Amino acid sequence: MAKRELPKYIYRQRNGLYFQRRGWPTRKIENEFGTAEFWREYADILADKDQAPRVTTRSFAALIKSYRANPRYRNLKPRTGKDYDKYLDFFQEIMGDRNPVHLKRKDVIRLRDANAAKAYFANYSLRVLRVLMEHCVDLGWRETNPVRGVSELKTTKSEREPWPSDLLTLYRAECPLGTRERLVMELCVGTGQRIGDVLEMRWSDIQDGGFVVRQNKTGKELWVPVLPELQAALDDASRHSVFILTNERGINRWSYRGASQAVRKVREAIGALDYDIHSWRYNAACELVEAGCSDDLVASVTGQSPAMVLHYTKKVRQKIRAMQAQQKRHEVKKKL
């Protein structure tokens, strides 16, 4: 279809027709060209000129503002949205007045490599920029996403492991019952939930001897029975708030930063810096496997997918299987 066949301000892009007029927001045409519905949609757009928000410049600042108003951003999980905000603010600071239409692959690679010393930051910024530039394509500002195909930096990341039993014993000795540090550990190990979900737990979530949990990341709803070690910590906890884990003033929930810093002090004191607050979820999954639970039973507590159950417990599974194998080997030798 040639451009001259299209009405004024209508342009064909890679993924469809768009209304594009200087000073107006770009809009994707939903109906097929030539139909009555198309002409009605076209007329409605022109008639809406007084109410339509104006886009005076195509800049990263305008693109970020548009993305934040889009369902793609608004439907992010709260924790993910906060993570994205850090990078969106970073992009706005360093190139807010630049036109995203002119962003090239070499610019993306240069941005990645400029942050090579902070590999996690560099890689996460690529992921967010890729999403942002996909929104740029959706707006019809450009036809291709220059971030697609740009590889992330390779990193040598050691796999997280559960806390060894002796370090958990030292942790309990360092943090007596009644302290927040002890309570957060018992909640994480006892329920097998992510720290974000643990910090959201309320006293009203304890029902019929267990915690009713709705996981923020997956939306799964679980009921997890309370173990004796956790019950002892709950019995000694103060109840000045609807939240189980509260801030210093005891009137609101404990923040992730506050909990992480408090636990780090304990880790430093007992020599457990190789094991962090997230490793307690590994402890829960591994203890269930060591108790002989199937993957389905493990998932009924942790809410994990089968693949994640395997990932969290692969080392303890290997140990268990190796012990079984060596025992069989020993029994055979005894018969010879």
Rounded Cα gap, residues 286 and 317, in angstroms: 8
Name the amino acid, one letter, at 41: E
Rounded Cα gap, residues 240 and 232, in angstroms: 18
Query: Residue 54 above 60 pLDDT?
Result: no
Return the axis-axis angle of helices 180-191 and 279-290, rounded to nearest 10°: 50
- Out of 60-64, 91-95, 212-216, 332-336, which region has the weakest mean confidence (pLDDT)? 332-336
Q: Residue 12: pLDDT band by 50, 70, 90 thresholds?
A: confident
Q: What would the pLDDT profile of 100-148 be if each residue is shown by its tens digit?
A: 999 999 999 999 999 988 998 999 999 999 999 999 999 999 999 999 9
Label the pairing between strands 206-207 and 27-28: unpaired
CA 59 from centre of chain? 27
Mean pLDDT score, 87-107: 94
Tokens of 180: 């927040």
Please, what is the average pLDDT of the chain? 91
pTM value surpassing 0.75: no
Q: Residue 50: pLDDT band by 50, 70, 90 thresholds?
A: low
Q: What would the pLDDT profile of 149-200 be if each residue is shown by its tens digit?
A: 999 998 776 778 999 999 999 999 999 999 999 999 999 999 999 999 999 9
Buried b / exposed e across 14-24, counting CB within 10 Å, b at 16+? Answer: eeebbbbbeeb
Maximum average pLDDT range among 55-64, 77-86, 148-157, 292-301: 292-301
pLDDT of amino acid 4: 63
According to DSSP, the residues that pair with 213 across neighbouring strands are 222
Rounded Cα gap, residues 304 and 295, in angstroms: 9
